[in-house]
């Protein structure tokens, strides 16, 4: 009998199993941290917010933070957003709901995975990557100390993201939770520098993870860049967020099309700028922020000037007074596949500006390493390793680096990925749920928007459950046991979707047994030459249970399949999977 997975129950880790996970749970496959998204949405739909929070905590470390500022790579591939099915589920906002309705203020502590190893690990940098790596390694039995040169931990969570998007109480709470797990955080320490040279750290610890972020601005070398009033966006945000800066120009021009640019514009407006404009060299559709972020910028009265690139800053008495731009058009694709903007000759123009914030990206600052050879037990993680990315990307990278460090210290990988298969049925998901629109995120009125007031207020309980119920529950696998089927066709007669159950002549698989397609029955053949099987097409299945209820011989099975990390080997605690 052809089966979708390599095992009938328990853990499975063959290529066909991972192919099934990636093909059928597209949101989880797209999440860099492989968060069990349908698992926590299902928990929210039944009002179990603590279970939903714990799922996120295990997978992505910072549920309440990511529920506000995650870049949401999971939402674009969500099945509910496929053509003809409506809008994607509000996965990110739902993650926030799990935290908002947690119902407890004390830290949530996860059980240790392995017993104490006696190994000591130093982490340089208390941003999301450093803290995520530290939390993982602590769960695996290591003693971890995080060194942070600033006075408070958090990295870009404090320095780069404004409080009106990410309240500092939320940051404090989830960092305290990391500490409560057993991670020691020492702030105000120049680890790797004068206070604790890298060589000393490496000598005193079994491993050192450098997760110092990407804070060096990527400033274009344009004429007039040294004029007063021209500065990089991230240092400006840091000075406002942590240094209490309130000074801003009257006419502010922000250059860039990412999160830093949007934040600079909104912060400048809140500090009292008379006019703020965002100028970007690409089109509106290429602004690289989450859905709704650009719309909020426009809603707050900040205009965009698109397909324009700065060529010079023009000053008066040593201060910037104008910016000269040139218009652009899409050129040939670059290495990423996007069409590179190219200047249109003769299209230069100028705008008045007494304050320019250049938010054109940032890179890791590795000058303090001095180009010297590093001790062999030193590794890089997060943005410091790969350049500026997303929070969830930095967390995923940190988790992988933690696994590599653990494997080196312990003689092999102690945690592996697998598909966990458990028998069980979901509650019927009726067709009416397909018609429920995506729930809008409530926000405070414009007149109440200050530098500290959180703009988005979160779902209420009813909206949170309603939104979670929209999920197609892609982690449930429906499969027909053809050895028991009596070919009564009743499942086909009640199917709600045109291709959720298909009569097939054969199912095609590649040499690794991954699904390659199927050949439908040819109805032009004589009945005795047209034998067929029934195949439940997971991509079209809406988990309504109609086929289960009508089958007279109960030959349709339902299993919950989760993409998990599972400990292996001696010393593992009693974790069937993480």
Q: What is the pLDDT of residue 522?
A: 66
Buried b (16+ CB within 10 A) or exposed e, 303-327: ebebbbbbbbbebeeeebbbbbbbb
> How deeply is 213 buried, as exposed, middle or buried, from its count of CB atoms within 10 A (0-12, 13-18, 19+)?
buried
Least confident span in 89-103, 186-200, 294-308, 401-415: 186-200
- Domains for the chain: give ranges and CATH numbers: 120-215+364-413 (3.50.50.60), 217-361 (3.50.50.60)
Q: Report, as an integer, the average pLDDT of 344-364.
A: 96
Residue 62 and residue 128 in contact, taking contact as beta carbons nearer than 8 Å: yes
Confidence of residue 525 (pLDDT cuts 50, 70, 90): low
Above 70 in pLDDT, residue 432? yes
Strands 533-536 and 501-509: antiparallel
Residue 403 and residue 142 in contact, taking contact as beta carbons nearer than 8 Å: no
Q: How far apart are CA 452 and CA 531, in angstroms?
A: 68
Residue whose C-alpha is closest to residue 237's, from 489, 451, 468, 21: 451
Above 80 in pLDDT, residue 574? no
Residue whose C-alpha is closest to residue 189's, from 156, 146, 159: 146
Buried b (16+ CB within 10 A) or exposed e, 428-457: ebeeebbeeebbebebeeeeebeeeebbbe
Q: Report, as an integer, the average pLDDT of 183-210.
A: 93
Q: What is the pLDDT of residue 578?
A: 41
Q: Would you state the structure tokens that stand for residue 308, as one six-digit string?
A: 């324009």
Torsion sign across C-alpha atoms 549, 554, 555, 561 = positive
Residue whose C-alpha is closest to residue 142's, from 188, 202, 62, 208: 208
Mean pLDDT of the chain: 93
Confidence of residue 521 (pLDDT cuts 50, 70, 90): confident
Q: How far apart are CA 190 and CA 157, in angstroms?
A: 19
Q: How far apart are CA 480 and CA 533, in angstroms?
A: 9
Q: Report, as an integer, the average pLDDT of 486-502.
A: 92
Confidence of residue 524 (pLDDT cuts 50, 70, 90): low
Q: How far apart are CA 416 and CA 521, in angstroms?
A: 40
**145-158 residue pLDDT tens:** 999 999 999 999 99
Strands (E), 403-457: 415-423
Q: What is the pLDDT of residue 149?
A: 94
Helix (H, G, I), strand (E, B) or coil at 480: strand
Helix (H, G, I), strand (E, B) or coil at 309: strand
Residue whose C-alpha is closest to residue 143's, from 115, 111, 176: 115
Confidence of residue 193 (pLDDT cuts 50, 70, 90): confident
Above 60 in pLDDT, residue 186? yes
**379-399 residue pLDDT tens:** 999 999 999 889 999 999 999
439, 443, 446, 448: CA torsion to nearest 10 = 160
Q: How far apart are CA 265 and CA 81, in angstroms?
A: 30
Above 50 in pLDDT, residue 572? no
Above 60 in pLDDT, residue 430? yes
Strands (E), 141-266: 143-148, 184-187, 191-192, 196-197, 207-210, 216-217, 230-232, 251-255
Highest mean pLDDT out of 153-162, 188-197, 216-225: 153-162
Is the full-model pTM beyond 0.95?
A: no
> How deeply is 423 buried, as exposed, middle or buried, from its count of CB atoms within 10 A (0-12, 13-18, 19+)?
exposed
Residue whose C-alpha is closest to residue 352's, from 303, 300, 315, 304: 315
Helix (H, G, I), strand (E, B) or coil at 328: strand
């Amino acid at each position: 009998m052809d089966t979708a997975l390599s095992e009938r129950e328990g853990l499975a880790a063959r290529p066909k199993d991972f192919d099934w996970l990636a093909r059928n749970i597209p949101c989880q496959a797209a999440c860099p941290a492989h968060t069990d998204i349908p698992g926590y949405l299902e928990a929210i739909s039944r009002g179990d917010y603590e279970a939903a929070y714990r799922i996120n905590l295990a997978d992505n470390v910072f549920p309440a933070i990511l529920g506000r500022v995650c870049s949401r790579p999971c939402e674009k591939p969500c099945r509910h957003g496929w053509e003809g099915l409506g809008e994607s589920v509000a996965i990110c906002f739902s993650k926030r709901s799990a935290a908002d309705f947690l119902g407890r203020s004390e830290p949530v502590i996860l059980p240790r995975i392995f017993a104490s190893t006696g190994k000591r690990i130093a982490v340089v940098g208390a941003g999301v990557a450093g803290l995520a790596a530290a939390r993982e390694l602590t769960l695996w039995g290591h003693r971890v100390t995080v060194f942070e040169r600033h006075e408070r931990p958090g990295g870009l969570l404090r320095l780069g993201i404004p409080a009106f998007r990410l309240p500092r109480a939320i940051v404090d709470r989830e960092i305290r939770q990391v500490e409560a797990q057993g991670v020691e955080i020492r702030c105000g320490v120049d680890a790797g520098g004068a206070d604790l040279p890298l060589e000393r750290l490496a000598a005193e610890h079994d491993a050192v993870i450098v997760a110092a972020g990407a804070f060096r601005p990527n400033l274009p070398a344009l004429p007039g860049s040294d004029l007063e009033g021209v500065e990089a966006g991230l240092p400006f945000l840091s000075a406002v967020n942590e240094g209490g800066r309130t000074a801003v120009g009257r006419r502010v021009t922000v250059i860039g099309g990412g999160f830093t640019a949007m934040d600079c514009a909104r912060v400048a407006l809140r500090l009292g700028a008379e006019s703020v404009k965002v100028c970007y060299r690409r089109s509106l559709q290429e602004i690289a922020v989450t859905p709704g972020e650009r719309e909020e910028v426009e809603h707050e009265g900040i205009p965009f000037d698109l397909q324009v690139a700065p060529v010079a800053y023009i000053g008066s008495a040593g201060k910037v007074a104008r910016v000269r731009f040139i218009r652009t058009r899409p050129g040939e694709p670059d290495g990423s596949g996007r069409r590179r903007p190219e200047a249109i000759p003769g299209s230069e123009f100028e705008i008045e500006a007494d304050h320019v914030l250049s938010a054109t990206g940032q890179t890791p600052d590795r000058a303090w390493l001095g180009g010297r050879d590093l001790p062999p037990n030193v590794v890089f993680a997060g943005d410091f390793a790969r350049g500026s990315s997303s929070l969830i990307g930095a967390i995923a990278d940190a988790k992988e680096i933690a696994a590599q460090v653990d494997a080196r210290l312990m003689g092999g990988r102690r945690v592996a990925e697998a598909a966990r298969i458990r028998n069980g049925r979901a509650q019927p998901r009726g067709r009416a749920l397909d018609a429920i629109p995506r729930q809008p995120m409530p926000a405070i009125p414009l007149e109440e928007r200050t530098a500290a007031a959180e703009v988005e207020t979160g779902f209420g309980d009813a909206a949170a459950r309603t939104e979670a119920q929209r999920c197609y529950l892609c982690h449930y696998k429906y499969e027909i046991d053809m050895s028991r089927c009596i070919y009564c066709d009743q499942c086909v007669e009640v199917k709600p979707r045109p291709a959720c159950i298909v009569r097939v002549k054969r199912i095609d698989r590649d040499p690794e047994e991954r699904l390659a397609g199927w050949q439908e029955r040819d109805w032009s053949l004589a009945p005795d030459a047209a034998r067929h099987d029934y195949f439940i097409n997971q991509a079209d299945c809406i988990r309504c249970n109609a086929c289960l209820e009508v089958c007279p011989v109960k030959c349709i099975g339902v299993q919950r399949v989760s993409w998990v990390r599972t400990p292996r080997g001696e010393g593992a605690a009693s974790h069937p999977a993480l």
